[in-house]
Amino acid sequence: MAELVNVTIDGVTVAVPKGTLVVDAAKKIGNHIPVFCYHPKLKPVGMCRMCLVDIGTPKIDPATKQVVRDENGNPVIQFMPKLTTACTTPVSEGMVVRTATEQVRAAREDILEFLLTSHPLDCPICDKGGECPLQNLTLAHGPGVSRFDYDAKFHNEKHVPLGELIFLDRERCIQCSRCIRFQDEIADDHVLQFHDRGRGMEIITFSDPPFDSYFGGNTTDICPVGALTTADFRFKARPWELQSAQSICTHCAVGCNITLNTRLETRHGGFEIKRVMPRQNEWVNEIWICDKGRYVHHFTRSEDRLHLPLIRREGRLVESTWQQALQLVADTLRAADGEIVLMVGDRIPNEDAYLLGQLGRAIGARVSVSPNVPSHYADVARAFGVGKDADFKRLGRGDLVLAVNADVEEQAPVWFLRLRQAVVDRGAQLIIAHHRSTKLHRYASAIHRFEVGRAPEWVQQQAETLAQALQAARHALIVFGDEHLDGPRARALAQLLANLLLQSGHAGRSDSGLLPLYPHANTQGVCDVLSPHTALPPAARVVWAVGVGDPQELPPAGFYIIQEVLHTALVEQADVVLPSLTFAEREGTFTSGDRRVQRFYRALPAPGEAKPDWWIAQEVARRLGFEWRYNSPAEIFEALAKDVPAYAELSYAALSRVVEQWPPIGREDLYYGGTAYDNTGGIGARYAAEAETRALPPYDVTIPEPTIAGLKRGPRMLYRDGELIRRSALLRARMVSLQQVA
């Protein structure tokens, strides 16, 4: 328990942990000291002086070293001769802070008047207008008039591209260095810096390609003015025109909480996503997202979205009604006599995957996941994954992070940020084993190398040494990937790592466990609720592929049912095409790589007649004689929770639980934490690992021989070519520039 210190701010006394800054102590009691350079997630620098306050401390008698008291026995408070920055001053016992004196009021006016001398005042066309701390604080604390000559303003370039994704408006910058500090302290990509001095001081990027970071979009959220804007949102909409829906990013296993901002477009009469913003969840992504999650959304309005069912007639796919398509699907499945493969992708929400699994088994189909979904070790992660209440924020001194065959920044970018903090900021030990270098290698205390594709053999050989290192640690987190491993060998790796947890006494402990780097938001969830077969039959009469995404090698079949959101190459193979919805057009749940089940909500209307996958499954089921009557994902989740033991304690109500988070982030507080959204949709809930509920035996592991197919499974980089990223012009351009440099 941290030592508490009493401080009195404008007459209100509050006890806060020792080391708390005055600005944060005030925030805790609703006293909003204005700031520009300070950000609660960054180290204070005291650059802008906006937070000046009057600070006093109990007077100490130099002779007795005791607090001097007045005639009533109260400590005599000695105030500083000048105002002090609240963002750099930690509280001390008995401190008294005055934030509403005439002197403080005048200082705030002066700072704002001074800042505005070199500010262009182009609020009517500035993207930050409506959610700009400088606008808001000027209205609240500014002087109203300026003594400076408007014509003497310092002018600078206004449209400076910092790479393909971010624009800098140089004359709007108030030189707070939040952007530089985010890149240095949080992302560890040292790509921004101040250049020059005085009035001409400006932000520059000196990396090649410019602004070389996967996290750059976050700087636009915390920039307190419109100096940094994304190429995605720049001049596209005003904040007050936007509607917001709380959602979950689908592009890796982290499950970052996001808000989808949408607007009705007169151009085509429909809603579209104008920007993707982080949403606070201190247990998942804090207030950060990566640039893939931020910019890849354009596929939702791609011209080749499927709007209507298609049926192949005389060699060509032609539009049909749902009635015709569903009847054809039902008749074909009935006639297939169980020789059916039902294949589900790992972006499909839990509710839909569950229903598809139920239907598949009821008609005797081989229920599986698509070939690129690493399902072979989902049961190992379910058994030995991190604890139900694990919190990466608690990892620090005395704890061990073991990363085996894992490229965390490329495969789970926000987990990279969080593990880096555990190691660099809080002193956890990091041991890495990989066949190549990754960014995480910068922080390792021990680095091991194995031959390409030989991770399981390496773990087996090193088992004793590794178990000893784990045993010495308070908590042990093991993050692993499946680069250059086929399913059976990746399973062997997971099992060997689980055995290490058992051997070292960490199995089933809260902040310990396995953390698999799955490719998408719902790899774990689909495997949990679908119980897929891991082997496919050599051929089938019917293959029904749902949300498989990128073209895959489907088993040879006489009839292909393809259920997709986009007209991909896969669709060209179809006999029937069933158009489905993206996560943005519906609600449901995903289960992240650390088994946190989270709700997402609808942001957009359905394009054309496209339907959610659960609806399609139910309509097919009814035509096959099943009496299903689900009206919503919520009803399906209830059935799922009764049927899938791991989910027994979960419900939509539990997942929607909202708790107070620190620091407070959101609409009211944008001057403090930036424009990330507060969380009103729920922080989700993690289900317990099996090892937490009962003693599990070690795995009996035989490592299969490597296969060519396995060795060919190269690294899964964040910006890799695929059906979704290809539809984001911004990320395409970024990929080209990265390739040119490489």
Identify which of residues 50 and 306 has a Cβ nearer to ligand FES in the complex.
Answer: 50
Q: At a CB cut-off of 8 Å and minimum separation 6, what does 142 contact?
A: 108, 109, 112, 113, 116
How are beta strands 160-162 and 310-313 bridged, if at all? unpaired
- Which of ligand FES, ligand SF4, none binds 542 (CB below 5-8 Å, type-dependent)? none
DSSP label at 185? I
Residue 422 and residue 396 in contact, taking contact as beta carbons nearer than 8 Å: yes
Identify which of residues 475 and 520 has a Cβ nearer to ligand SF4 in the complex.
Answer: 520
Residue 279 one-letter amino acid: R
- Which of ligand SF4, ligand FES, none binds 293 (CB below 5-8 Å, type-dependent)? ligand SF4
Nearest to 600 by CA among 646, 656, 532, 543: 656
Q: Is 249 in the site for ligand SF4 (CB under 6 A)?
A: yes
Write out the E strands in 334-380. Answer: 340-344, 366-369
- Least Cβ distance, residue 372 to ligand SF4 (angstroms): 16
What tokens appear for 352 in the block? 């839909």
Q: Is 138 in the site for ligand FES (CB under 6 A)?
A: no
Please pick, from the candidates 22, 77, 83, 87, the single residue that binds ligand FES as defined by CB under 6 A: 87
- Least Cβ distance, residue 280 to ligand FES (angstroms): 21
Residue 435 and residue 484 in contact, taking contact as beta carbons nearer than 8 Å: yes
DSSP label at 342? E
Identify which of residues 51 and 546 has a Cβ nearer to ligand FES in the complex.
Answer: 51
Rounded Cα distance, 369 and 347, in Å: 11
Q: Is 290 in the site for ligand SF4 (CB under 6 A)?
A: yes
* Residue located via tokens 């040119």: 740
- Least Cβ distance, residue 343 to ligand SF4 (angstroms): 24
- Which of ligand FES, ligand SF4, none binds 87 (CB below 5-8 Å, type-dependent)? ligand FES
Q: Is 22 in the site for ligand FES (CB under 6 A)?
A: no
Q: Which stretch binds ligand SF4 (CB under 6 A): 79-87, 288-296, 366-374, 402-410?
A: 288-296
Q: Is 529 in the site for ligand SF4 (CB under 6 A)?
A: no
Residue 421 one-letter amino acid: Q
Size of the site for ligand SF4 (CB under 6 A): 26
With H, G, I as helix, E, B as strand and everything else as coil, classify residue 431: strand
Helix 133-141 crosses helix 102-116 at what angle (to 10 degrees)? 140
Rounded Cα distance, 736 and 742, in Å: 10
Q: Is 254 in the site for ligand SF4 (CB under 6 A)?
A: yes
Identify which of residues 210 and 224 has a Cβ nearer to ligand SF4 in the complex.
Answer: 224
- Which of ligand FES, ligand SF4, none binds 175 (CB below 5-8 Å, type-dependent)? ligand SF4
Identify which of residues 224 and 357 has a Cβ nearer to ligand FES in the complex.
Answer: 224
Q: At a CB cut-off of 8 Å and minimum separation 6, what does 145 contact?
A: none
- Which of ligand SF4, ligand FES, none binds 112 (CB below 5-8 Å, type-dependent)? none
Q: Which stretch binds ligand SF4 (CB under 6 A): 88-96, 283-291, 384-392, 449-457?
A: 283-291
- Least Cβ distance, residue 85 to ligand FES (angstroms): 4
Identify which of residues 53 and 228 has a Cβ nearer to ligand SF4 in the complex.
Answer: 228
How are beta strands 228-230 and 400-404 bridged, if at all? unpaired
- Least Cβ distance, residue 254 to ligand SF4 (angstroms): 4
Rounded Cα distance, 317 and 304, in Å: 14
- Least Cβ distance, residue 671 to ligand FES (angstroms): 10
CB-based burial, 149-173: b 16+ in 10 Å, e otherwise: eeeebeebeeebebbbbbbbbbbbb
Rounded Cα distance, 471 and 478, in Å: 13
Q: Is 177 in the site for ligand FES (CB under 6 A)?
A: no
Identify which of residues 201 and 701 has a Cβ nearer to ligand SF4 in the complex.
Answer: 201
Q: At a CB cut-off of 8 Å and minimum separation 6, what does 596 contact?
A: 255, 283, 284, 684, 685, 686
Q: Is 565 in the site for ligand SF4 (CB under 6 A)?
A: no
Q: At a CB cut-off of 8 Å and minimum separation 6, what does 213 contact?
A: 183, 187, 189, 191, 207, 291
Q: Which of residues 71-90 bind ligand SF4 (CB under 6 A)?
A: none
Q: Which of residues 256-275 bind ligand SF4 (CB under 6 A)?
A: 256
Residue 551 and residue 564 in contact, taking contact as beta carbons nearer than 8 Å: no
Q: Is 173 in the site for ligand SF4 (CB under 6 A)?
A: yes
Q: Which of residues 23-42 bind ligand FES (CB under 6 A)?
A: 35-38
Q: Which of residues 205-234 bind ligand SF4 (CB under 6 A)?
A: 223-225, 227-228
Please pick, from the candidates 20, 85, 89, 320, the single residue that binds ligand FES as defined by CB under 6 A: 85
With H, G, I as helix, E, B as strand and everything else as coil, classify residue 307: coil
- Least Cβ distance, residue 459 to ligand SF4 (angstroms): 26
Rounded Cα distance, 230 and 535, in Å: 44
Q: What angle do CA 445, 449, 455 make, to 5 degrees?
A: 115
Q: Which of residues 45-84 bind ligand FES (CB under 6 A)?
A: 46-51
- Which of ligand SF4, ligand FES, none binds 85 (CB below 5-8 Å, type-dependent)? ligand FES
Please pick, from the candidates 27, 98, 178, 595, the single residue that binds ligand SF4 as defined by CB under 6 A: 178
* Residue located via tokens 């894992």: 406
Residue 563 and residue 547 in contact, taking contact as beta carbons nearer than 8 Å: yes
Q: Is 233 in the site for ligand FES (CB under 6 A)?
A: no
Identify which of residues 279 and 506 has a Cβ nearer to ligand SF4 in the complex.
Answer: 279
Residue 424 one-letter amino acid: V
Q: Is 297 in the site for ligand SF4 (CB under 6 A)?
A: no
Going from the C-alpha of 247 to that of each of 89, 216, 612, 680, 690, the distances in angstroms are 37, 21, 16, 11, 28
Helical spans, DSSP H, in 556-679: 613-623, 633-643, 652-655, 670-673
Nearest to 663 by CA among 393, 371, 314: 393
Torsional sign, CA 465, 466, 469, 474 = negative
Q: Is 479 in the site for ligand SF4 (CB under 6 A)?
A: no
- Which of ligand SF4, ligand FES, none binds 49 (CB below 5-8 Å, type-dependent)? ligand FES
Q: Is 176 in the site for ligand SF4 (CB under 6 A)?
A: yes
- Least Cβ distance, residue 35 to ligand FES (angstroms): 3
Question: Which strand (E) or helix (H) includes residue 588?
Answer: strand 588-591
- Which of ligand SF4, ligand FES, none binds 561 (CB below 5-8 Å, type-dependent)? none
Residue 84 and residue 40 in contact, taking contact as beta carbons nearer than 8 Å: no
- Which of ligand SF4, ligand FES, none binds 48 (CB below 5-8 Å, type-dependent)? ligand FES
Q: Which stretch binds ligand SF4 (CB under 6 A): 284-292, 551-559, 604-612, 641-649?
A: 284-292
Q: Which stretch binds ligand FES (CB under 6 A): 43-51, 204-212, 400-408, 662-670?
A: 43-51
Q: Is 473 in the site for ligand SF4 (CB under 6 A)?
A: no
- Which of ligand SF4, ligand FES, none binds 290 (CB below 5-8 Å, type-dependent)? ligand SF4
User: How many Cβ atoms sit within 10 Å of the Cβ of residue 141?
Assistant: 16
Beta bridge partners of 5: 16
How are beta strands 557-564 and 576-579 bridged, if at all? parallel
Interface with ligand FES (CB under 6 A): 35-38, 46-51, 85, 87
Interface with ligand SF4 (CB under 6 A): 173-179, 203, 223-225, 227-228, 249, 251-252, 254-256, 285, 289-290, 292-293, 413-414
